[in-house]
Amino acid sequence: MNKKQLLDDDFKYIWRPFTQMKSLENPNNKPIIIKRGRGIYIEDVDGNKYIDAVSSWWVNTLGHSNKRLNKAIYKQAKKIEHVIFAGFTHEPVIKFSKKLVELLNNKLTKVFYSDNGSTAVEVALKMAYQYQVLKGRPQKHKFIALKNSYHGDTIGAVSVGGIDMYHKLYKPLIFDIRQAQSPYCYRCPMNCEKETCNCECLSSVEEILKEEADNIAGIIIEPLVQAAGGMIMYPPKYIEKLRVLCDKYNILMIDDEVAMGFYRTGKLFAYEHSGVVPDIICAAKGITAGYMPLSITVTTDEIYNAFYDDDVDGYKTFYHGHSYTAYPLALAVAYENLKIFKEMNIEEYLKPKIAKFSKELEKFRNHKNVGDIRQTGMICAIELVKDKKTKEPFKYEDGIGKKIYAEGLKLGAILRPMWNCMYFITPYIITEEEIEKLMNIAYEALNKVLPNEET
């Protein structure tokens, strides 16, 4: 089938995510047909190669078409591709669960499986509420979430989201929450400075808890980085202080690690930077290195034991499950992913790359439209502003991100800005030379759209 026929059929039969389909009538907006991937690059049907600077929606960790991961899937497929997880189990899920809990090495000991990040969050919300019911606190049915937050697109996940463009339309369908201030250091809601901040924005959480802690089941956060909100980054001490509040007011801390987990921040999970432990964590994306849909919701013995009972069909059972729960093919590749991380000594392996990104980010510092530069581990972000002194943002209608994306493609990199924020979340195997190449492309693309003026 030729390229034109493929694109015609794509438009005729497929409804794409986060896309106004009418815009695809414009020849310049046609999707790029990808033929293959290798390492940090993907290649289209015309032979053009692009650095995958966004890890294909933040999922890829070890590069495209990794030989060991390919082999792991093939070996498992020859044994059993899938089996019902009610009344049955299998070696890949047992091996992965054991290894994960050993790596956590803390009070998070029980792993519940699903198949995507939104669902992992749904599981956590239901689990937290049912736990409160089982502990004799049924009035605790509300949740606190943060402004600028994103936890997925299913109804429960949308309910705890804080980005109007994604969530406002569905308000009649979602449950009521309490929304607290976002720890947005560059645009601090409390007018504090990053250098002297003591997480004053947490006062909005405590104000809610003072008024109605008796009705709050838990709070859900994205640890250290509010990703879809614009790669908004905040310090670990925020999580430390939040843990104190959760304990004081007897609510659960739900940690959405879907984007940050599996070493994106330099550690297995982002919460580890804080030295405290959440009550529930949700993870997906990098869990299988981008190969297979898989997600987990991990919790404590304390929560698990509240559901443990002799009445097998009673209300203490956690009624949640999916056809592909604990999918053997996904678990086989997830286990191999962890093995490779261990052999690489991944935390040490990433340190020089994190440092290289930090160095390369400095070339953007004096650009007239760069308001803020931020980095957490392997996640880098550059917030673009219309006016550097006032921090005036570009309007959505200005389409700055789309223009930079288009220029990046011409130069050989997938730069998919989030709002007014250029960001980089690459596969971990990117070399220091490739980091420099990527950042040079990004700087050139930025200057094509927003030419810098010498000052």
- Mean pLDDT across the stretch 348-367? 97
| End position of a domain, from candidates 289, 315, 344 | 344
Give φ, ψ of 343 to 5 degrees. -65, -35
pLDDT of 279-303, one tens digit each? 999 999 999 999 999 999 999 999 9
Both 143 and 208 in one domain: the answer is: yes
pLDDT score of 165? 87
* pLDDT at 13 exceeding the cut of 60: yes
Angle CA 155–156–161, to nearest 5: 90
| End position of a domain, from candidates 344, 378, 399 | 344
The pairing of strands 41-44 and 49-51 is antiparallel
* 432 in Cβ contact with 353 (< 8 Å): yes
Both 241 and 259 in one domain: the answer is: yes
pLDDT score of 106? 82
Both 325 and 441 in one domain: the answer is: no
Q: CA 346, CA 204: separation in Å to the nearest integer?
A: 37
* pLDDT at 454 exceeding the cut of 60: no
- Mean pLDDT across the stretch 409-414? 98
Both 203 and 288 in one domain: the answer is: yes
pLDDT of 432-443, one tens digit each? 999 999 999 999
* pLDDT at 318 exceeding the cut of 80: yes
Q: CA 210, CA 219: separation in Å to the nearest integer?
A: 14
Residue 176 lies in a domain: yes
| End position of a domain, from candidates 326, 344, 362 | 344
Q: CA 138, CA 172: separation in Å to the nearest integer?
A: 23
* The two three-digit tokens of residue 160, written as one number: 């705890």
The pairing of strands 216-221 and 178-180 is unpaired
- Mean pLDDT across the stretch 154-174? 93
* pLDDT at 412 exceeding the cut of 90: yes
Q: What percent of the chain has pLDDT over 70?
A: 100
pLDDT score of 455? 43
* pLDDT at 312 exceeding the cut of 80: no
pLDDT of 79-112, one tens digit each? 999 999 999 999 999 999 999 999 998 899 999 9
CATH value at residue 429: 3.90.1150.10
Both 326 and 304 in one domain: the answer is: yes
Residue 7 lies in a domain: no
Query: What's the DSSP call for residue 32?
Result: P
Residue 13 lies in a domain: no
Both 158 and 217 in one domain: the answer is: yes
Give buried/exposed letters for 212-227 (b at 16+ CB in 10 A, else e).
ebeebbbbbbbbbbbb
pLDDT score of 140? 97
* pLDDT at 167 exceeding the cut of 90: no
Both 188 and 295 in one domain: the answer is: yes
- Mean pLDDT across the stretch 16-20? 92
Any alpha helices (H) in 173-216, and if so which ranges? 203-212
Both 369 and 262 in one domain: the answer is: no
* The two three-digit tokens of residue 323, written as one number: 């056809």
Q: Which domain holds residue 310?
A: 71-344
Q: Count of domains in the chain?
A: 2
- Mean pLDDT across the stretch 43-69? 97
Both 213 and 317 in one domain: the answer is: yes
pLDDT of 241-278, one tens digit each? 999 999 999 999 999 999 999 999 999 999 999 999 99
Both 54 and 132 in one domain: the answer is: no
CATH value at residue 174: 3.40.640.10
CA 22 to mean position of chain CA atoms: 28
- Mean pLDDT across the stretch 202-208? 97
Residue 192 lies in a domain: yes
* 92 in Cβ contact with 360 (< 8 Å): no
Residue 17 lies in a domain: no
